[in-house]
Amino acid sequence: MKKLTGIILAIITLPAFSQDYELIRANMDRIYGGDYASRLGLRIDSVEEAAPMSGDTLYHGYHQVGEIGDFCVRHDAPFWLGDPILKKENGDFQFHNLDGEPIHIKNQSNTEIGYEWECYTTGDLQNVLTVKAIVDTITYEDFIGLTDSVKYISFQAYGEGGDEVDCPVNNKTLKISKNHGLIQTPAFVVFPDINSYQNYYPASHEVFQVLGMTYPDQGISNLTKLDAFDFNPGDEIHTKYYHYTWELSRTQRDKILRCLDKEILSDDSVINVMERQMWYKKEIFNSDGTIDSVIETTTFDTVNKLYTSSPRFDSYPKETYIDSSSRLNLVYQNTMSGGFIGPSKRLDIPVGHIYHPDSCMSVGSSDGCFVGNPNGRYYKGLGGPYYYCTYGFSEYERELVYWKKGDEQWGEPLDIVITDNEYSSMSSENQCNIYPNPADEYFVVEGASFSFDNSRLEIYNSMGRKIKEYQLDSHKTRLTHSLSSGVYFYKVLSGNSILKTGKLIIK
């Protein structure tokens, strides 16, 4: 009976591969890392039958920007493993490079060490090149918190006479896990030696190791906007901003954000109540370089920060994203990499724009700082963008100098001194109260320590937009409302001072 239980548990926990050492399956969702810290994704977007009654299956990954032939950059080029990926009825796989040439990987469910086959032959009769693959190792290996049997398959190129020849894929290793498929691979789209497309694709000699997967959830995943702005009560983010325009002005801003509260509104929407301390200074220069005037302020208040998912941000590394709302149909792609503070993502400047869906792209260029959208980097749980860039005679920088997440912290915290005339805070929570909360048809705002010459209650919806404002004309104001049932956020203000913020629930 115990043996039967063990078998049942094994069936439940293992991913649904139809054969041992199967390279790809339809629901694969993975991140791979290359030799130069770059990240690439594997996500199968569609599956179709290769031909009626054939038993063969075609897998299609997401599109990326790529050069198809000479001087033609496309927004819908195949991703780094090639497109399509063909799984034959007998379990063999067939990948395709940019020239449409197939790379054959045999069904590995029953192969032994020393098993060899011809996996690629060039179609160029004047420059014959053949690549053979061989199973050279079968071992147990640890990867991203898993342990499994892994087969190593290496490659060797041969010339027309059968002699070994130099080639970037020589001795590169394909690793296939028995229960988790492809865990190390070259970029088949440039296999075996397509090096003229390196502006958009990896080099032929690079190999990529799995860094994270789903089913089971292990390692890292694609960084989404909600991952980047995942703040919890007690978290702190300290940043410094600098902008200098030669002989005109210099702007500096130090900011501290502390998360006070978090409300998950839906799967793609979160709102945080953040305490904000900020020092701001702007210097205006005369033509001779001397300072003409200085503006300096400090702020201490609370703000509601709404974070929602973003299709552009959430796209996979190198995946094509087209801004169809733009007249130019701007084309973007993200880059993802690692770092000493964890996974990060950069929202690159537009790669170019599309004149016509069937035409080559018009490729853009920049000197490194796209106005209004700095080429910055976002980090998991630490926000962003953080960047240093130049544009014309201007220099921009936004730097993360300190963070605190739970019991962990890093960097040197900022110390912002708030001047009395700029002070705006919730330092005395008992200054006012709102009740009943949750409320039905009315609620009461009561306070004893603030002036009512310019006192008011502001109501915000879950999107952070102000929808109501009530004047408070006594120390105890009863307000009848027309709000729909739901969760709202409020501010009680006296003049420019914020006396209290919080949630208001309408039943």
CATH code (residue 435): 2.60.40.1930
Does the residue 155 lie in any domain?
A: yes
Q: Which two tokens stand for residue 101?
A: 């040439």
Considering the domain architecture, whether residues 286 and 405 belong to the same structural domain is answered as: yes
- Using DSSP's 3-state secondary structure scheme, residue 188 falls into helix
CATH code (residue 92): 2.40.360
Q: What are phi and psi for residue 400, nearest 5 degrees?
A: -85, 115
User: From CA 97, how far away is CA 187, in angstroms rounded?
Assistant: 9
Instruction: Give all strands (DSSP E) within 50-145, no chain letters.
Output: 57-61, 64-67, 73-77, 85-87, 93-96, 102-105, 116-121, 130-143
Considering the domain architecture, whether residues 269 and 291 belong to the same structural domain is answered as: yes
Does the residue 338 lie in any domain?
A: yes
Considering the domain architecture, whether residues 493 and 455 belong to the same structural domain is answered as: yes
Considering the domain architecture, whether residues 344 and 403 belong to the same structural domain is answered as: yes
Considering the domain architecture, whether residues 213 and 242 belong to the same structural domain is answered as: no
Considering the domain architecture, whether residues 21 and 152 belong to the same structural domain is answered as: yes
Does the residue 361 lie in any domain?
A: yes
| Last residue in a domain, options 379, 411, 443 | 411
pLDDT in tens, 206-235: 899 999 998 889 999 999 999 999 999 999
Model confidence at 12: pLDDT above 60: no
| Last residue in a domain, options 368, 384, 411 | 411
Per-residue pLDDT, 191: 93
Considering the domain architecture, whether residues 251 and 332 belong to the same structural domain is answered as: yes
Considering the domain architecture, whether residues 247 and 373 belong to the same structural domain is answered as: yes
Considering the domain architecture, whether residues 449 and 399 belong to the same structural domain is answered as: no
pTM of the complete model: 0.74
Nearest in space to 113 (alpha carbons), one of 86, 140, 92, 135:
135
Considering the domain architecture, whether residues 211 and 259 belong to the same structural domain is answered as: no
Does the residue 10 lie in any domain?
A: no
Work out the average pLDDT over 302-318. Answer: 90
pLDDT in tens, 343-378: 788 877 677 777 777 778 887 654 445 544 546 789
Range of the domain at 477: 426-506
Most confident of 64-73, 124-133, 159-168, 343-352: 159-168
pLDDT in tens, 381-425: 999 989 888 777 888 899 999 999 999 999 999 998 776 444 333
Considering the domain architecture, whether residues 197 and 243 belong to the same structural domain is answered as: no
Number of domains in the chain: 3
Considering the domain architecture, whether residues 65 and 135 belong to the same structural domain is answered as: yes
Q: How many residues does the chain have?
A: 507
User: From CA 377, how far away is CA 374, in angstroms rounded?
Assistant: 9
First and final CA of the chain: distance in angstroms? 53
